[in-house]
Structure 1
């Protein structure tokens, strides 16, 4: 029955790799494999020399059917990540981490590094890299200095994130200073000189950033942030793509408020609002000024979360509001049709239902996409995610995204797209 369902979705003949894929996921669901004694033995074995090793393995099958390309994309990838965090000595601590991705069954996809341009892009190339390599100093009261290649996440990942969804993580060669000396306040300031993105490209920049979060209000947290992104090169060329990174040179300042309020013992109000202003910066060839607006409200009713949201990225002079360092997969739908804001901007009105049944987390999301005036309808998208976690270290996931285009001429690549994923992860 399960096999027949998978075959109906893919329309593909039975293959040995697909059988092994289903077998792997079935074995992963077997609870005896995750026996408490084995888990504790692994945890203890990773504590070495006063520090700790981390191990992260993630298998994923991704399937993409995109209307403007003659072939579908299928990718079986295994991501391995291993690192070591030293103990703290005289206020100093260091961390080193390797990661790599390998195709293990199907590799019929455009990774942006191969020549398979008849297939849709799946941005999980076979690459090996130093993911993190940093040293931190905490000898100054309520202050931490960290320098080197590191993970940086601000707030909800909207402006700076690590793109946790893709197999290779986005990290930054940077110096970051975090201070908590003021009451209820965390001040983070950084300077980025390189970003290593999810396709293992290392892109030069000279970019100061800051984030100030204040939690002293009774109903939520106030955040002020700024990013001055100055990219080095006009063109970055790779086997199947060429990028004009200077178009991402922007200066942005924003303010965000988010919170949760208990209405009864079992009912909570959820809310968030954000505004940001952006204009061209450094060597960006275009002259523009654009706004960003977001408003979100919802209720948590006995564990059932309902949200209605509005997000608008404006446009000016053929340039849309851009957030090139964001975890973009988390915004504007999981089909990833809006990784670059269209020239006419985007207005995303969406609703979310999230709950947990018998320990299984379930998400449903619906998006309606238009330009920033609301007059041009781009399309709509339905998203579903089901995830089961086994303790702290193991997880299984199924995810589906269906984007339906209303106007293929609205911007390049605005075509019907369906994607689905099967994933299993082990992380210590």
Structure 2
């Protein structure tokens, strides 16, 4: 068995020890408790982690990432991430949850994690840190309503504007009060007030930001969502490329759904979204930018054949620009949009148009996803470049997942060529 790290910089060494010993302890407790109840299996481990006393949650993710980027030193990293949490039973309509999250490299640490100062290397944005990832108290006394206060995960719609950035090892969580009500049939209201965001760099960013998301389900057609997100950043040094650049107000409508074309054999997929964004509070810019996202496609439902879950989609996403100021999504899960090479996490000043096509299928139990993007500016006529992405995902039962992922950005008039490759293994209970 590999020994826990004992060498390296003091901060990194301490985090490596915490993650390593925490991982070993959690595994030993789960295996010992499960073995006492019978032969060790995923089900026995899962049963051992919950009971009348509450539930222990455990999520271990190891990832190897390699990045080649023109003009900068190529690099590799292999961070391992541990999340260990405890969920209490419900007591007088109250329930609490606390979760530790820690991340550290195992063998490869010569990469720019955005906090370690190794700027000669390409970026792998997974810093060696430990933190309270979640810590909240929930009240369920009102029927079909949950009021939750504290540090928590907030994912709204497809996470374009508000999300946890789950792809990175240290996720983004929110210090907030959140109310989720489903008391009216087919209607849900999700309202939050955020005063701090814990970022993927394990950094606190203060703000005073109300978020409102209202959704109505039209049965057999889709879901219509209206939203308003008012982001008011407090600290000028943590508010964007210039002071208070991320202080924005965004209002939008989204319709997402599917409709059977041939019963049990073919379905039509469709998404249409529009949003309007402008400056808010202390933002010194006076601008307004539009957002459009359209998707159309077809999917074939599951079958017992070798090839299942076949789908094809084409999409167009516009992140607009006004007088050199582009639309911004500082709290979104941006890795899931505009290419996995992450070249458009921040939208260029001239805006962005993304024309893309997606193919997906499950082949012999392996999920296959292929995506091609063509990028252009909104203002002007710049051809930014193109990107090809591919991913293979294999689940082993409910608790184990193996993933291989590839991204190749071919630059034209924006940034430089980038190629990325990942192998990832996750154990989650």
TM class by smaller structure: 0.7 to 0.9
Q: Which residue of 2 aligns with 1:194?
A: 196
- Return the match for 1:403 from 409, 422, 428: 409
> Per-residue deviation at 1:141?
2.0
1:297 alignment counterpart: 296
**In structure 2, distance between residues paired with 1:218 and 1:53:** 37
CA RMSD, Structure 1 to Structure 2 (Å): 1.5
The separation in 1 between residues aligned to 2:110 and 2:94, in whole angstroms, is 45
Shift of 1:216: 2.9
2:136 is matched with which residue: 128, 134, 148?
A: 134
Deviation at 1:50, TM superposition (A): 3.0
Match of residue 229 from structure 2: 227
In structure 2, the residue corresponding to 1:40 is in which secondary structure? Answer: helix
Match 1:354 to one of 322, 337, 360: 360
Q: Does 1:155 align with 2:160?
A: no
Unaligned runs of 5+ in 1: 1-34, 409-413
- The answer on 1:423 being equivalent to 2:424 is yes
Kept in 2, the 8 Å contact 1:137–1:146? The answer is yes
Pick the aligned partner of 1:391 from 393, 397, 400.
Answer: 397
Other-structure match for 1:249: 247
Separation of aligned partners in 1, 2:295 and 2:312: 11
TM-score by length of 1: 0.87
Task: Return the offset for 1:259.
Answer: 0.5
For the pair 1:372 / 2:378, whether they are aligned, the reply is yes
Residue aligning to 1:278 = 277
> For 1:168 and 1:147, how far apart are their aligned partners in 2?
21
* Matched residue SS, 2:47: helix
CA distance in 2, matches of 1:244, 1:318: 13
Which residue in the other structure is 2:260 paired with?
262
User: C-alpha distance in 2, partners of 1:243/1:203?
Assistant: 14
The answer on 1:308 being equivalent to 2:314 is yes
Are the counterparts in 1 of residues 321 and 379 from structure 2 also a CA contact under 8 Å? no
| Aligned twin of 1:15 | none
How far is the alpha carbon of 1:182 from its aligned partner? Answer: 1.8
1:243 is displaced (CA, Å) by: 5.5
Question: Secondary structure at the residue paired with 2:360?
Answer: strand
Q: Tell me, in whole angstroms, the C-alpha distance in 1 between the residues paired with 2:228 and 2:243.
A: 19
How much does 1:36 deviate?
Answer: 8.6
TM-score, normalised to structure 2, is 0.87
Distance 1:321 1:151 in 2: 24
1:331 — aligned with what?
337
User: Once the two structures are superposed, what CA deviation does each residue of 1:111-146 show, in whole Å capped at 9, x if it has no partner?
Assistant: 111121111111100000000000000101222110
Going from structure 1 to structure 2, the CA distance change for 1:219 and 1:245 (only over 3 Å counts) comes to: farther
Structure 1 pair 172–296 and aligned structure 2 pair: CA distance change class (3 A): same
* Structure 2 unaligned residues grouped into runs of 5+: 1-37, 302-308
Report the number of matched residues.
384
Q: CA shift at 1:251, angstroms?
A: 0.2
Q: Deviations over 1:239-282 (max 9, x none)?
A: xxx95461111000000001011111211100000000000001
Cα distance in 1, alignment partners of residues 299 and 107 from structure 2: 41
